[in-house]
Amino acid sequence: MIPLSQRRPRSITVFALAFFGAALPAFFAGLLKIPDQQAHLQKLIPAMDWSPDWVIVWHSAWLSIALIPIAMVWLSAVRFARWMVTIMAMAKLWVVLMALPAMLSYGLIQPEVLGSTLLGLFAVVMLFTPASNRWFADKGGDDPAVFE
Please compute the mean of the pLDDT values over residues 121-143 and round it to a whole number: 88
The answer to whether residue 120 sits within a structural domain is: yes
pLDDT at 15 over 80: yes
- CB 26 within 8 Å of CB 123: no
pLDDT at 29 over 90: no
Domain carrying residue 79: 10-137
The pTM score is 0.82
The answer to whether residue 142 sits within a structural domain is: no
The answer to whether residue 145 sits within a structural domain is: no
- CB 97 within 8 Å of CB 90: no
The answer to whether residue 112 sits within a structural domain is: yes
pLDDT digits 0-9 by tens, 39-72 = 999 999 999 999 999 999 999 999 999 999 999 9
The answer to whether residue 74 sits within a structural domain is: yes
Please compute the mean of the pLDDT values over residues 110-136 and round it to a whole number: 90
The answer to whether residue 5 sits within a structural domain is: no
Q: What HEC string does the chain produce?
A: CCCCCCCCCHHHHHHHHHHHHHHHHHHHHHHHCHHHHHHHHHHHCCCCCCCHHHHHHHHHHHHHHHHHHHHHHHHHCCHHHHHHHHHHHHHHHHHHHHHHHHHHHHCCCCHHHHHHHHHHHHHHHHCCCHHHHHHHHCCCCCCCCCCC
The answer to whether residue 100 sits within a structural domain is: yes
Cα–Cα distance measured from residue 49 to residue 116, given in angstroms and rounded to the nearest whole number: 29
The answer to whether residue 4 sits within a structural domain is: no
Count of domains forming the chain: 1
